[in-house]
């Protein structure tokens, strides 16, 4: 969602049936994912329209954004999950229409209590009806902290729009963006109204993007992966973030904001619910 739009998202989400076209939309400045790549990336549909992305972190659990898993949105002290069945998702396909993918309904939605009380902690855990056949993407171990330092190139992927305000593509897109320092992100998002706005909070957020913009996550990518590459010898990735928000998409000076899931309170929340989601 766009900066300062979480209250709006909450209002829209509360209406449940609204199409939310501006939010129902991939990665800006990336390229179409090739068939068979990113099998663990989920295309999440809420109430048949509201679109998000997610990542399979255990056979029966997908990690997505808090604002994708909550009717009430942030700032509302009542944790209301979507009626189960309203949330559906597809794994193991790059096609937005689900062609060839593994379809699931969601039987349970878990949100961190801190999501409802603050503007951060933008994660949700979606329990699948049946275990997936796809190999889950593990979240980085604390001992792997060195693979997502400022300047390190991360991979982002999702089913969202390829331009700010644009439409969603037929194929999942992916790109690379570097981690931004917490100080740099705090100065980009020095919001003076953090209750309603989206000021940067390094406890539960981490940023990635180029100073000049051009490559970023966008509407509909929310909840999707921020992936850190393992050593070239080992290959593969670890999950270190979940797409959350930003000022528009790919704008200069406004990196994308991701939920910080590999350390801190969100690590504790996810580990207490899905202990096998972590590497190491």
156 in contact with ligand 4AZ (CB under 6 A): no
Closer of 116 and 185 to ligand 4AZ (Cβ): 185
Q: Report the residue from 1, 7, 177, 179 that binds ligand 4AZ according to the rule CB under 6 A.
A: 1
Residue 229 and residue 216: Cα distance in Å, rounded?
Answer: 18
Could you tell me if 140 and 229 are in contact, meaning their C-beta atoms sit under 8 angstroms apart? no
Q: Which two tokens stand for residue 170?
A: 């037929």
Q: Single out the residue of 189, 256, 261, 262 in contact with ligand 4AZ (rule: CB under 6 A).
A: 256
* 32 touches 94 (CB < 8 A): yes
- Contact with ligand 4AZ (CB under 6 A): which of 90, 96, 216, 228? 216
Applying CB under 6 A, which of residues 92, 173, 215, 243 lies at the interface with ligand 4AZ? 243
**Binding of residue 217 to ligand 4AZ (CB under 6 A):** yes
171 contact partners, CB below 8 Å, separation of at least 6: 32, 33, 94, 95, 96
Integer Cα distance of 218 and 28 in angstroms: 7
Q: Are 149 and 179 in contact (CB under 8 A)?
A: yes
Among 219, 253, 255, 198, smallest CA distance to 4 is for: 198
Measured from each CB, the residue nearest to ligand 4AZ is 246
Q: How far is the CB of 90 from ligand 4AZ (least distance, A)?
A: 18
Could you say which of 42, 91, 246, 262 contacts ligand 4AZ (CB under 6 A)? 246
Asked if 155 touches ligand 4AZ (CB under 6 A), the answer is no
How far is it, in rounded angstroms, from Cα 191 to Cα 184?
Answer: 13
Catalytic site positions? 67, 122, 222
**Residue 221 interacts with ligand 4AZ (CB under 6 A)?**
yes
Q: Give yes or no for residue 162 binding ligand 4AZ (CB under 6 A).
A: no
Question: Cα–Cα distance between 54 and 68 in angstroms, integer?
Answer: 9
By the rule CB under 6 A, 2 interacts with ligand 4AZ: yes
Query: What is the contact surface with ligand 4AZ in residues (CB under 6 A)?
Result: 1-2, 23, 160, 216-222, 243, 245-246, 249, 256
């Amino acid at each position: 969602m766009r900066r300062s739009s979480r209250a709006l998202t909450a209002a829209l989400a509360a209406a449940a049936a609204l199409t939310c076209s501006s939010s129902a939309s991939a990665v800006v400045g990336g390229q179409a994912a090739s068939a068979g790549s990113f099998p663990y990336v989920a295309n999440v549909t809420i109430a048949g329209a509201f679109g998000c992305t997610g990542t399979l972190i255990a056979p029966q659990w997908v990690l997505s954004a808090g604002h994708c898993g909550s009717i009430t949105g942030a700032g509302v002290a009542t944790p209301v999950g979507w009626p189960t069945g309203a949330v559906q998702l597809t794994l193991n396909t790059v096609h937005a229409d689900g062609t060839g993918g593994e379809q699931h309904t969601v039987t349970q939605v878990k949100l961190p209590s801190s999501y409802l009380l603050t503007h951060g902690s933008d994660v949700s855990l979606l329990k699948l009806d049946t275990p997936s056949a796809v190999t889950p993407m593990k979240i980085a171990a604390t001992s792997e902290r060195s693979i997502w330092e400022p300047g390190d190139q991360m991979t982002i992927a999702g089913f969202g729009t390829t331009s700010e305000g644009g439409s969603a593509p037929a194929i999942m897109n992916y790109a690379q963006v570097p981690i931004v320092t917490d100080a740099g992100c705090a100065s980009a998002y020095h919001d003076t109204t953090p209750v309603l706005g989206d000021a940067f909070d390094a406890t539960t957020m981490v940023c990635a993007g180029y100073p000049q913009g051009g490559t970023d996550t966008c509407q509909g990518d929310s909840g999707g992966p921020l992936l850190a590459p393992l050593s070239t010898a080992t290959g593969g990735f670890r999950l270190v973030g979940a797409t959350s928000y930003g000022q528009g998409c790919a704008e200069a000076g406004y990196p994308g904001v991701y939920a910080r899931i590999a350390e801190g309170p969100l690590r504790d929340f996810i580990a207490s619910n899905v202990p096998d989601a972590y590497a190491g």
